[in-house]
């Protein structure tokens, strides 16, 4: 019985995994950041401190277990915001030490990928995973539960960040990705186009398109101050189309270069409707076996941390409590 704790950014989350099955998954989303248009690290850290105990207690009660039943404590070690990570790390260390059970540090981005092993059907190894969140954009070759290799990633902004910044330019609230997704549903994705930076191989870059959107809106607003409000649906659809196209082009290249046709997506942006629909279509064309996570496991959650800790514990002979383990804001993959 493993407790998983997630506190890397602005969700305080706890989940229980019993023999590889998730039996509770509790998430407290911090609303305090909405008024600032982005996550304020100090406020995030304080909110984690307030919420971590009730969230963990609720995870125990929903799983029908007591703290004494635990056989391991998993937590997000990084990457993420230092002040936020410290809350989960300290809590996990204290709990594991008091119970004398293994302390299992988890890499947040690897956990997004391992979320695919919560519900059947599981991907078969090796598979490719497009991991897309607010801080990362990566194509990962997954050999097994613990061995993963980044084949390509962004050299600047992450795609989730591009969604959120574009949304901010459109006057939408934070996080803007889901709002763009919603507005795009009744928009024309071919109405506007934006210039993109073409990167070699499997690398991504989103700073060029972000600037292109900014200049386009600025020029249009000079001519017509109501341009954004009059075209909000078409703008959302066109921006979304361009960003998702960039993601998929490289994924197709990665599959043809590696010969791997078992394809998964993970991370917050994998909740995007257009990405999910397009992937299904491309998958049919290229004879891919597609793995799309349930919505609740796309954005940050602790079920993915608990399942990762479970695989770590199962596949490692050394599960001692190492109280020297530190939170790592820029943890290497
Ligand atoms: O994985 P996640 O919850 O947190 C990080 O680890 O960063 O990802 C958050 C990101 C945000 O940028 C958010 O705007 C984006 O995922 N996101 C979406 C959608 N849902 C969340 N982007 C586009 N469409 C969505 N439906
Ligand atoms: Zn995440």
| Range in 63-72, 139-148, 299-308, 309-318 with the lowest mean pLDDT | 309-318
- The DSSP bridge pattern shows strands 262-266 and 127-132 to be parallel
Ligand 1 contact, 268 CB (< 6 A): yes
Ligand 1 atom at shortest distance from the alpha carbon of 164: 14
Q: Ligand 1 test: best mutation among 129, 134, 243, 270, most atoms within 8 Å of CB?
A: 134
State which ligand 1 atom lies nearest to the alpha carbon of 240. Answer: 23
Q: What residue ranges in 112-163 does DSSP mark as E strands? A: 127-132, 137-142, 148-153
Local confidence band at 95 (pLDDT 50, 70, 90 cut-offs) = very high
Per-residue CA distances from 39 to 9, 30, 36, 48, 111 (Å): 8, 9, 7, 13, 21
CA 267–ligand 1 middle distance (angstroms): 7
Ligand 2 center to 292 CA (angstroms): 15
Cβ atoms of residues 150 and 140 within 8 Å? yes
Tell me, using a 6 A CB cutoff, whether residue 4 lines ligand 1. Answer: no
User: What fold is seen in the domain 2-113+298-315?
Assistant: Nucleotidyltransferase; domain 5 (3.30.420)
Query: Which numbered atom of ligand 1 lies nearest the CA of 175?
Result: 14
Q: Ligand 1 within 6 A of 267 CB?
A: yes
User: Which ligand sits closest to the CA of 132?
Assistant: 1
What's the gap in Å between 299 CA and the centre of ligand 1? 6
Q: Say yes or no to pLDDT of 169 above 90.
A: yes
Ligand 1, atom 16, residue with closest C-alpha: 268
Q: pTM to 2 decimals?
A: 0.95
Q: How far apart are CA 247 and CA 130, in angstroms?
A: 8
For the CA of 135, the nearest ligand: 1
Mind listing the pLDDT tens digit for each residue in 200-214?
A: 999 999 999 999 999
Do 237 and 265 touch, CB atoms closer than 8 A?
no
The segment(s) of the chain belonging to CATH 3.30.420.40 are 2-113+298-315, 125-293
Q: Report the greatest alpha carbon distance in the chain.
A: 67
Beta bridge partners of 132: 137
The tens digit of pLDDT for each residue in 294-310 reads 999 999 999 999 999 99
CB-based contact 246:132 (threshold 8 Å): no
- Note the CATH number of domain 125-293: 3.30.420.40
Q: Give the nearest ligand 1 atom to 176 CA.
A: 14
pLDDT, one tens digit per residue, over 252-294 is 999 999 999 999 999 999 999 999 999 999 999 999 999 999 9
Q: 2, 104 in Cβ contact below 8 A?
A: yes
78 close to ligand 1 (CB < 6 Angstrom) = no
Nearest atom in ligand 1 to the alpha carbon of residue 8 is 6
Owner of token pair 């059907």: 121
Q: Is the CB of 160 under 6 A from ligand 1?
A: yes
């Amino acid at each position: 019985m493993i407790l998983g704790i997630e506190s890397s950014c602005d969700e305080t989350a706890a989940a229980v995994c019993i023999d590889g099955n998730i039996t509770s998954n509790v998430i407290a989303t911090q609303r305090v950041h909405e008024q600032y248009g982005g996550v304020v690290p100090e406020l995030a850290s304080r909110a984690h401190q307030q919420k971590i105990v009730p969230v963990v207690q609720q995870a125990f009660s929903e799983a029908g277990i007591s703290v004494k039943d635990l056989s391991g404590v998993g937590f997000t070690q990084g990457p993420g915001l230092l002040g936020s990570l410290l809350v989960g790390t300290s809590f996990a260390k204290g709990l594991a030490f008091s119970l004398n059970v293994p302390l299992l540090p988890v890499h947040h981005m690897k956990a997004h990928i391992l979320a695919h092993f919560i519900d059947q059907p599981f991907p078969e190894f090796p598979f490719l995973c497009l991991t897309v969140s607010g801080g990362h954009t990566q194509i990962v070759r997954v050999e097994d539960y613990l061995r993963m290799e980044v084949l390509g990633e962004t050299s600047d902004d992450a795609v989730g960040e591009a969604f959120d910044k574009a949304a901010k330019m459109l006057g939408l609230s934070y996080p803007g990705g889901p709002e763009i997704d919603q507005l795009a549903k009744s928009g024309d994705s071919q109405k506007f186009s934006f210039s993109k930076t073409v990167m070699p191989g499997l690398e991504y870059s989103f700073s060029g398109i972000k600037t292109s959107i900014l200049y386009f809106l600025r020029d249009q607003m000079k001519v017509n101050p109501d341009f954004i409000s009059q075209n909000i649906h078409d703008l959302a659809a066109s921006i979304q189309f361009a960003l998702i196209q960039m993601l998929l082009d490289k994924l197709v290249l990665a599959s043809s270069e590696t010969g791997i046709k078992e394809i998964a997506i993970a991370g917050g942006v994998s909740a995007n409707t257009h990405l999910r629909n397009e992937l299904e279509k491309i998958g049919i064309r290229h004879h891919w076996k597609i793995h799309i996570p349930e919505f609740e496991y796309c954005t940050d959650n602790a079920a993915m941390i608990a399942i990762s800790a479970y695989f770590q514990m199962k596949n490692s002979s050394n599960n001692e409590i190492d109280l020297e383990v530190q939170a790592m804001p820029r943890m290497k993959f």
